[in-house]
A and B are shown apart, each in its own frame.
Chain A
Amino acid sequence: MKKITTATLLMVFAVGTIFLGMTPAVFAKENTAQFEKEWTAFYKDIFDQNFYSEGINQLDLGRWWRKIFRKKIPSANINVFDEVPDSNFFTNRHARARLSAEALEKGYHEEEGADLSQPLTVIAAEQQGIHYGFIVEDAKKDRYFLKFDSQGHLELNTGAEVIASRFYYALGYNVPQYNILFFKPDQIKVSEDAITYDNTGFVKKLTQQILEKYLLAIPQLPGGTYRASASKLFKAQEAGDVSFWSRKKEDPQEVVHHRDRRDFRGLRVFSAWLNNENIRESNALYMKTNENGQVAFKPYLFGFATALGAAMGGDKPPMLGYEYLADYGEAFKSFLALGFREKPWQKKWREASEKNSPLSSVGYFSSEHFDPARYKTLLPYEAFRLVTSADGFWAAKNVMAFSDEDIRTMVKAGQYSDSAAADSVTQTLIERRDKIGRYWFLQANPLDGFAFSDGKLSFKDLAIDYKFIPKEGTIYHVEVVSSGKKPRRIAELKISEPILSIQPEWFQNDKDINLIIRVARPSAKELGFSVSISLNTVGIQGIRHQD
């Protein structure tokens, strides 16, 4: 009897699953991969990262070895100067050569935005609870993915998405074109073969009536105008998921596994800055492009609608950014403390009287209790856990490259109707930027901007330059050693200014020398991390910050 009942249950379940799964592959059309991916693949990500990888990591002997002996895995895609050269994944932009205010505000753009000379045609729509997304085609036959704010939170998600896209792009990542799009109800219509997934999960023909029903649930600006974040859908061919762990095997240009790429690791720092804890594999996609006659696989990041103070459905829940979705370590600590441990996010939430910003378009976004060292993305990617001091320094340097004015300019792209909201977001980003800079510049060796001329090596102490620490009392301990397998100490000296005279006699037989520089701060008991400069008579041959 029991066996029969079990078999019956399983059969009912199987038949039910097949029945429920019987929907046409309507989204197998071109240019919808980003749309489709953003609405799906979250469960797989959760399972893979939060459950499978967390368990399987415990079987990684190398990981245990590194943990016990405090070893680190240095990033592998860095050049001799400790920088990340341009690649399909990352292009050094603002930190390398300052972008103009216009370029910062516009971000990546192919068009000025959707062409509204004719009504936008909705090709597909998705309703998920109170969230709506449309794929529309404009007069130029370009397709855009429109996302909207939820009721009571006008400008929150749309603003966050566009602003975050500007930052990721200016930092160096590939993102689709994002714009704020305003349109009137009469500027949108339904295509004849449009379809929709509504709350039922079943695919239906999208009619004008259904579209109007959706539009009724979407918040409007005074005057009946709709506001959406519009991302231009890729015209290139979608070429699969981007793993945050391993490389894309089909791409011969991609040699280094993503776990060991500094630009991947740096995403943790950048996402901490932008409070985009939702950075995950399902928000990244390879696109196959043809550049100069060569096939290239370019990974794109997208789905920034839950950055800053936003989340699906409104304000960001207070635990996000502080804990992984399933955070075993935090849960275990709370378990041991018998419930009497107040977590940082709980403290922050209590101090905020359990209230979000009075500005509904800002949500829950502040710099109080923001700790760059402890920021956690929603899912625990190993690449983010492996961020070394050198990786963090590189990322922080990129973050600090944005001046207050740059940030203000990029926030303008969010087109907040209330200047107080723009000011609040700008101020928080400035404060979070400084916290990131302060943490990583003091955590790592903050010397940068090395130049060798006239027999003098000059450099910048970014911690001092950005005024995170006073110049007074800072001493640079320099050790000069010969290059080769058995380095020999040539000289040792202490300097108080970031400039060093290189003695010609140090270059014996025209061999390279290495200068190992450590910084002694008056407030610190020990010397900090080192930076090693490889030098010969021609100039600087290499730079390496200690991991």
Chain B
Amino acid sequence: MKKTALFLCLSFFFFSVFAYAEDKKEDFYKPVYEKPLKTSSLKDPVSRVLAFPFELIKWPLDKALVFMEKKRLDRKAIWLYEKSVEYGVTPRVDSLNFNGIPSYGADFDFVRIFRQKEMYPDLIAKGWINHGPAVYFQTGAEFGKQRIADTGFHVSEFFQYENRRNETFYGIGPYSSRGDSASYIIERTTLATRAGYEFSPTLDLTSQFGYDHVNIKNRSHGGKGNITEVFARDNIPGLYGDDLLSYSLSLKRDTRDSKSSATQGSYQKLIFKYTDGVQSSKAQYFTYQVDAAKYFQLASPRRVLAARLFAEHNQTINRGDMPFYNMAKLGGSGTFPYVSQTSRGYVYDRFYGQSTVLLNLEYRYTIWQYREFQLDTVFFVDEGQVFGNLGKFNFSHFRESYGMGFNLNYSKLVLLSFDVAHGDEGTQFYIENKIPF
């Protein structure tokens, strides 16, 4: 009994001490603060004032983004685009032009439109229409067969009408002056028959017999003069248009991993063409053209050196003419819808010549990646010159431009490209949705 009482007493004492110790233990999580909690300002008044105008922009943008996502507008747009392509209509928005308005258009695959793709998988029945406000309008069609009797042979008929409303001309040859600027409208209708053989998906040989009807309208436009007035003392061939027949042979090899933004592989394009003026046209000349590019990965796909060579020589024969509008041209970014070759420190169509040599060298490296998105920095040098006969080629006539830019790609598809280039005639800026090569 005594033992039990002693045990109980000891137990009581033990647990009392334990309980006391527990009571004394500080609750470190209790909501006791040095000072009462208060709402302090997140920013000082000056910073708030500075940010205020931007808040006004943020609010509607936030609302628009939430609306877009809530209504699944992005997915609807993608679905509509994919559906449109599936049904044979591919909408396109091309490079932003000088006016800041994108040129737009659509490609039509009539085989798909008429739901005959499964029945005639090799049939070519295409059309296109493109419009760059105040710059150009183009429409055309091609009908033929991609593979004849399951061989690589292909044949097609080609038609295209093109109206370029704002072409510029600064004279012919390497010494032309930018001060002598003139503009003209060129309207070109082309009919052609094409036949060729595709040796492999990367190698193709195509011949073409074509007819071009070219109308030139000379006039002052956009602060530029009329060619017939500005160059009144020069003998500019083709000033009033021509009717041209041409025969050409082109060999193309393309092993690039992406046509939009290649990181490896190469392409080569060789063209030989004979052009003969008909009716009153005096045009008669041969065209030899080489366009080749190679993409070198520098120990990583994130570093690419892209080199491109473009050379063209037009040789008049039988005292024929070489129309100025068909001459080799240099200037601008060299991307569709502009047709002059890449020489970014100079304005579009800056140099016209019977011959040209152009070397483009670009170092592209990735500075940011997020999933399939990629931002590349580009440093580039463009070296080119136009000249007349081959004997007039002179190393001192090269015009160089250099610059840098950024390309935003998604899955090797260029979404946006920004370039700034400098040449001896000033600095040019380009914002486009494609890169020249």
Residues of A contacting B54 in the complex (Cβ-Cβ under 8 angstroms) = 52, 55-56, 59
* Inter-chain contact A41/B66, CB cutoff 8 Å: yes
B17 located at the interface, meaning its Cβ lies under 8 Å from any Cβ of chain A in the complex = no
Complex-state Cα separation, A20 to B62, whole angstroms: 18
Judge if A48 is at the interface, Cβ distance under 8 Å: yes
Chain B positions 20-79 with a Cβ under 8 Å from a chain A Cβ: 24-26, 28-34, 37-40, 42-44, 46-47, 50-51, 54, 58, 61-62, 65-79
CB distance from A321 to the nearest CB of B (A): 12
Contact A331 B375 (CB under 8 A): yes
The answer to whether B32 touches A79 (Cβ under 8 A) is yes
User: Which residues of B are found within 8 Å of A2, using beta-carbon distances?
Assistant: 99, 101, 133-134
B33, B70, B79: which contacts A200 (Cβ < 8 A)? B79
A459 at the interface (CB under 8 A from B): no
Q: Chain B's nearest CB lies how many Å from the CB of A431?
A: 26
Interface membership of B369, Cβ < 8 A: yes
A487 interface contact, C-beta 8 A: no
Contacts of A246 in B (CB 8 A): 42
Counting CB contacts under 8 A, is A508 at the interface? no
B-contact 0/1 string along A60-97, CB 8 Å cutoff: 11110000000000001111110111100000100010
* A340 / chain B contacts, CB cutoff of 8 Å: 303
- B26 & A80 in contact (Cβ 8 Å cutoff): no
- By a CB distance below 8 angstroms, the chain A residues around B42 are 245-246, 257, 259
Q: How many whole Å from A124's CB to the nearest CB in chain B?
A: 13
Give the contact-size bracket for chain B.
Answer: 35 or more
By beta carbon, the residue of chain A nearest B165 is A1
Asked whether any CB of chain A lies closer than 8 Å to the CB of B256, the reply is no
Return the contact of A201 from the options B34, B73, B377 (Cβ within 8 A): B73
Cβ proximity bits B77-112 to A, threshold 8 Å, 1 near / 0 not: 111100000000000000000010100100000000
**How far does the Cβ of A348 sit from chain B's closest Cβ, in whole Å?**
14
CB < 8 Å: which of A128, A200, A326 contacts B370? A326
Q: Are A325 and B370 in contact (CB under 8 A)?
A: yes
Residue from A55, A84, A245, A255 in contact with B39 in the complex, judged by beta carbons closer than 8 Å: A255
**A48 and B69 form a contact (CB under 8 A):** no
B70 near A335: Cβ-Cβ < 8 Å: no
Contact of A1 among B72, B74, B133, B303 (CB under 8 A): B133
A76 → chain B, closest Cβ, in Å? 7
Contact of A47 (CB < 8 Å), options: B62, B75, B80, B104: B62
Q: Which residues of chain A (79-128) have a CB below 8 Å from chain B?
A: 79-81, 83-86, 92, 96, 128
A21 at interface (Cβ–Cβ under 8 A)?
A: yes
Given A201-B76, A325-B370, A61:B44 Cβ within 8 A: yes
Shortest beta-carbon distance, A64 to chain B, in Å? 9
User: Looking at chain B's contact residues, is the secondary structure mostly helix, strand, loop, or mixed?
Assistant: mixed
Q: What is the number of residues of chain A that contact chain B, defined by CB distance less than 8 Å?
A: 72
| Interface residue ranges of A354-397 to B (CB < 8 Å) | none
Q: How far is the CB of A150 from chain B (nearest CB, A)?
A: 15
A403 at interface, CB cutoff 8 A = no
A503 at the A/B interface (Cβ < 8 Å)? no
A408 to chain B, nearest CB (A): 27
B139 at the interface (CB under 8 A from A): no
Determine whether A327 belongs to the interface, using a CB cutoff of 8 Å to chain B.
Answer: yes
Please give, as numbers and ranges, the residues of chain A lying within 8 Å of B77 by CB-CB distance.
20, 201
- The answer to whether A85 and B51 have CB atoms under 8 Å apart is no
- A17-B63 Cα distance, complex, nearest whole Å: 14
Shortest B436–chain A CB gap in Å is: 20
Other-chain contact of B67, A9, A21, A128, A200 (Cβ < 8 Å): A21
One of B283-291, B325-333, B360-368 contacting the partner: B360-368
Cβ distance A439 to chain B, nearest Cβ, rounded Å: 24
Which B-chain residue is minimally distant from A91 (CB atoms)?
B29
15 A-B residue pairs with CB within 8 Å: A9-B101, A20-B77, A21-B73, A44-B66, A52-B54, A56-B54, A61-B50, A81-B26, A81-B30, A84-B29, A85-B29, A197-B72, A202-B79, A259-B42, A542-B34
Counting from the closest, the 4 A-B pairs by CB-CB distance are A339-B365, A201-B75, A201-B72, A201-B76
Q: Which residues of B contact A (CB under 8 A)?
A: 24-26, 28-34, 37-40, 42-44, 46-47, 50-51, 54, 58, 61-62, 65-80, 99, 101, 104, 133-134, 298, 300, 302-303, 363, 365-371, 375, 377
Measured CB to CB, the residues of A under 8 A from B are 1-2, 5-6, 9, 17, 20-21, 23, 36, 40-44, 47-48, 52, 55-56, 59-63, 76-81, 83-86, 92, 96, 128, 197, 199-202, 245-247, 255-257, 259-260, 317, 319, 323, 325-327, 330-332, 334-335, 338-340, 346, 451, 453, 539-540, 542-543
